[in-house]
Structure 1
Amino acid sequence: MVRERATALLVDFDGVLRRWDPAVAAGVEREYGLSSGVLAEIAMQWDRLQPVLTGQVSHADWMTSVADALTPSVGDAERARAAVAQWQRYRGEVDPDVLAFIREVRAAGIRVGLGTNATDLLDADLAALDLVGELDVVVNSSVLGVHKPAPEYFRAACEALETAPSQVLFVDDEDRAVSGARVARLSAHRWSGPGDLRYLRAALAY
């Protein structure tokens, strides 16, 4: 079956538009005598992560739960909270190649949405990274109450873009999200880095 040409773009935030320097977390872990990778390991435990991604708890509450779980490792609750706070001060970095691509796409008249599983800190992060106004729509799982790869998430994203699913190109760095988008009838591309931009330009054909 020949797919329709995409007339809108939906991009993931973490891992595509925003990237994280792993050295930051590693530095905090060394400073506080923690095992390598433990901060992300605790934060990403699904029973802890899922409620914050669907707006059931706040980002602040999520980080409090991470500090509580970390306390036995550092032996002191205040020290655990300090470690988490120091880790959280770093809010990542914008990938300049992806941002330039988004600007190029929008200048060509194509609507661009941010499709992300995020917390209630997303708006503040977008402001801190000077991304306010760089996207036509922002689709945040914690606002919707449902996260990728659920079909309901992608339906809401397409509605926000005012574009039929078959005409939306979705870009994400996680296989499950890409698969979910395809089930919801979007075109979807598994992001591996800025080298993919040539393909995406051709797919959008602007």
Structure 2
Amino acid sequence: MRDRAQALLIDLDGVLRRWDPAPMIAVELEYGLKPASLLETSMSWDIYQPAMSGEITDAEWMKLVADRLPLEAPAATAAVAAWQEYRGEVDPDALALVRAARAGGRTVAIATNATDRLRADLDTLGLTSEVDLVLSSWELKVHKPAPEFFQQACLAVRTVPKRVLFVDDDDRVIRGARASGLAGYRWAGPEHVPYLRKVLDLPE
């Protein structure tokens, strides 16, 4: 890339936060649900989209999930509550990149599709103080990969798009970032961290 990045926008889920499927599977087994049914139900577009766009709260979203489970109401509510207790884990390699970028004077922001629960999750994970800004689709009222999300993100970090590195685990989001003029990189693990450091013009 010709222009070295002066800001890093990094996704939360699938990049800075990873999920162990075991706790979620355990809940489904306990309540007699099919594997991955909770996740699949929550990702149904007609309820996922308004939850990510700030149209409904996280609590309202989870109630809609419970309403769709093949369980009696009390059991469905309990299953969703148990499923939500596990909040994931920080990826140490992604966090090391964030810390290196900030140490190198780069502005770093979490840029993620999320609900109003995001801030509490970041506190729980110890990530709040690790970044300069948090850019949430719920707060911006627009979700990735909409061009408006990337426009607002670049304005927030006060950097022109061509000097912003965007790291995400979703190909569709990466395509959206590139279409908006950002340098987009699909995160698949730590093997390309040396390349990302070069894009950010960080010392070896």
TM-score for both structures, normalised by structure 1: 0.96
Q: Which residue of 2 aligns with 1:8?
A: 7
What does 1:36-55 align with in structure 2 at a 5 Å threshold? 36-55=35-54
Among the aligned pairs, what percent are the same residue?
54
**Any idea what the Cα deviations from partners look like across 1:30-72, whole Å, max 9, x if unmatched?**
11110111000100001110001011000000000000101xx
**Aligned partner of 1:165: which letter?**
P
Aligned to 1:122: 118
Tell me the residue number matched to 2:18.
Answer: 19
In structure 1, what is the Cα distance between the partners aligned to 2:161 and 2:136?
18
Alpha-carbon distance between aligned partners in 1 of 2:180 and 2:2, rounded to the nearest angstrom: 14
Counterpart amino acid of residue 182 in structure 1: R
One-letter identity of the residue aligned with 2:49 = Q
Quick one: distance in 2 between partners of 1:6 and 1:110? 8
The residue identity in structure 2 corresponding to 1:134 is E
Distance 2:94 2:183 in 1: 18
Structure 2 segments unaligned to the other structure (5+ residues): none
SS at the partner of 2:100?
helix
Aligned letter for 2:13? D
TM-superposed CA distance for 1:194, in Å, is 1.4
**1:57 and 2:56 are equivalent in the alignment:** yes
Instruction: Report the Cα distance in structure 1 between the residues aligned to 2:37 and 2:99, rounded to whole angstroms.
Output: 36
Structure 2 residue matching 1:105: 3-state secondary structure: helix
Offset, 1:170: 0.3
Do the aligned residues in 2 keep the contact of 1:174 with 1:190 (CA within 8 Å)?
yes
Q: Cα distance, 1:132 vs. partner?
A: 1.5
Give, in whole Å, the separation in 1 of the partners of 2:200 and 2:104: 10
- 1:201 matched to 2:197: yes
In 2, are the aligned partners of 1:158 and 1:165 still within 8 Å (CA)?
A: yes
- Asked if structure 2 preserves the Cα contact closer than 8 Å seen for 1:10 and 1:115, the reply is yes
Offset of 1:131 from its aligned partner?
Answer: 1.0
User: CA RMSD of the aligned region, Å?
Assistant: 0.9
In the TM superposition, what whole-angstrom CA distance separates every residue of 1:71-110 from its partner, at most 9, and x where no partner exists? xx22x11001000000001111111111122111101101
What is residue 150 of structure 1 aligned with on the other side?
146
Question: In the aligned structure 1, how far is the partner of 2:21 from the partner of 2:183?
Answer: 31
Tell me if structure 2 keeps the 8 A contact 1:3–1:166. no
Task: Please state how far the C-alpha of 1:196 moved relative to its aligned partner.
Answer: 2.0
Partner SS state of residue 12, structure 2: coil
SS in 1 for 2:145: coil
- Give distance in 2, aligned partners of 1:172 and 1:152: 17
Whether contact under 8 Å (1:64, 1:81) holds in the other structure is: yes
Letter in 1 for 2:118: L
Q: Specify the SS of the correspondent of 1:13.
A: coil
**One-letter code of the match for 1:33?**
G
> Which segments of 5 or more consecutive residues in structure 1 lack a partner in the other structure?
none
1:133 alignment partner, SS class: helix
Q: Does 1:187 align with 2:183?
A: yes
